[in-house]
Structure 1
């Protein structure tokens, strides 16, 4: 089956980069049009009717969300966005998909696999109106977002869904974050989240998770005790294991009452 696609982004380098990555991830996909904004994207769609549209969320004039409204249920849509994964995670439900800039090949390959499966099985395209309304609200300045309850993390060759309440602590692992969490049977697991510690902490409840070092954060419920040192640093001892975490002087102030 020959599949045709449209790419819309106001930055030529990003359009070209996505096209090259798609050539690698989906060699038989035909990119039949590129657009600089939502208006051009809608016009190209009406003329050429591609099966798949990759739409940047923020474009001048008509943005990606409005373009998606006009395209409706006539094509499979993928949003490409510079917003954090939190902003669009609610749309990874089958009706819409998304890629976070900078686009990673592994994530693109996952998206391509889903698209090919839907096209192969002629999966009906659902009405996206409510999802687009929610996306627009989430991206609006001043939106008050709930804290994360679940994390998707790499565990070997699978994706592990983690209840945030079961996380004991988090540590930076280059540009990602290593999450240490407890299974229902009490066993300890470690998984890798494709997000920097700073970005992940901003999405977790600050009443539960507290940063203790530039490279570490801990669930308050997982702390057994904190041992102060003469140099104004400390060591965090955990309840469920013999592991400890360093606490630097920059963060010790939040435990002054101890």
Structure 2
């Protein structure tokens, strides 16, 4: 059984020590990083890409919900907190579990079983974004459901099966985070290749791609040359 890679984020050092001790006692986990602040945790999580994030909610400066909204890579999340009033909001942002401090060994073991069950369902890790809302909560959006990404000044609109959402980011920066299932077709648009329903040839080496809902987007002349190298 492969160990779960875990990161712990909690502003209380003793809480991090106790959780690490419990995880070591239960076994099957590898603590690959920890942080006492959300600010330091963000680059840590994005670089280490753990299977699981144990996350406190009430922390100085940036809280746990705000931390999630700033991540480029979102692992499975288990909130660990001394307060029960955030439970509903935690599950609204699709946290896998919600543990109350002090954490009990038996309860933590059950959580780890749930984590393994969830990971076993994933043939490959899902690429997803956390989209915050104005109330401090938000939702996770799986990029497997996104078929078009379009830039508007310093914002991106992500079109998916349930509608669309906006994020504040440049297209060039966002494109670097995507895998090969996505292709930038021109200066302002990226498509998910598996979502393309029809391909038509246009003049000057361009292509017309039909996406879900019947929308047609154009592969530019320069990107068309890359397209042909990949697919023709």
Q: Which residue of 1 aligns with 2:20?
A: 19
Q: Which runs of 4+ in 1 moved over 3 A?
A: 89-94, 123-130, 132-137
Q: Which runs of 5+ in 2 are unaligned?
A: 139-232
Q: Report the CA distance between 1:2 and its aligned residue.
A: 3.7
Tell me, in whole angstroms, the C-alpha distance in 1 between the residues paired with 2:40 and 2:82. 21
Q: Helix, strand or coil for the counterpart of 1:71?
A: coil
Tell me, in whole angstroms, the C-alpha distance in 2 between the residues paired with 1:44 and 1:126. 17
Tell me, in whole angstroms, the C-alpha distance in 2 between the residues paired with 1:22 and 1:121. 23
Q: Which residue of 2 aligns with 1:36?
A: 36
Tell me, in whole angstroms, the C-alpha distance in 1 between the residues paired with 2:107 and 2:92. 15
Q: Which residue of 1 aligns with 2:61?
A: 61
Q: Report the CA distance between 1:54 and its aligned residue.
A: 0.7
Per the normalisation by structure 1, the TM-score is: 0.45
Is the 1:51–1:76 Cα contact (8 Å) retained in structure 2?
yes
Q: Which residue of 2 aligns with 1:79?
A: 79
Deviations 1:58-114 (A, max 9, x none): 112222111111226631011111112x53046458931211111122221221111
Is the 2:46–2:73 Cα contact (8 Å) retained in structure 1?
no
Tell me, in whole angstroms, the C-alpha distance in 1 between the residues paired with 2:127 and 2:106. 24
| Count of residue correspondences | 134
Is the 1:82–1:101 Cα contact (8 Å) retained in structure 2?
yes
Is the 2:71–2:129 Cα contact (8 Å) retained in structure 1?
no
Per the normalisation by structure 2, the TM-score is: 0.50
Is the 1:95–1:128 Cα contact (8 Å) retained in structure 2?
no
Q: Report the CA distance between 1:44 and its aligned residue.
A: 0.9
Deviations 1:101-155 (A, max 9, x none): 111222212211111111122185776547x766759xxxxxxxxxxxxxxxxxx
CA 53–128 in structure 1, closer or farther in 2 if over 3 Å, else same: same
Q: Report the CA distance between 1:50 and its aligned residue.
A: 1.1
Q: Report the CA distance between 1:39 and its aligned residue.
A: 0.8
Tell me, in whole angstroms, the C-alpha distance in 1 between the residues paired with 2:44 and 2:88. 28
Larger radius of gyration: 1
CA 104–93 in structure 1, closer or farther in 2 if over 3 Å, else same: farther
Tell me, in whole angstroms, the C-alpha distance in 2 between the residues paired with 1:94 and 1:87. 11
Is the 2:89–2:137 Cα contact (8 Å) retained in structure 1?
no
Q: Helix, strand or coil for the counterpart of 2:23?
A: helix
Structure 1 range deviating more: 70-79 or 108-117? 70-79
Q: Which residue of 2 aligns with 1:50?
A: 50
CA 125–113 in structure 1, closer or farther in 2 if over 3 Å, else same: farther
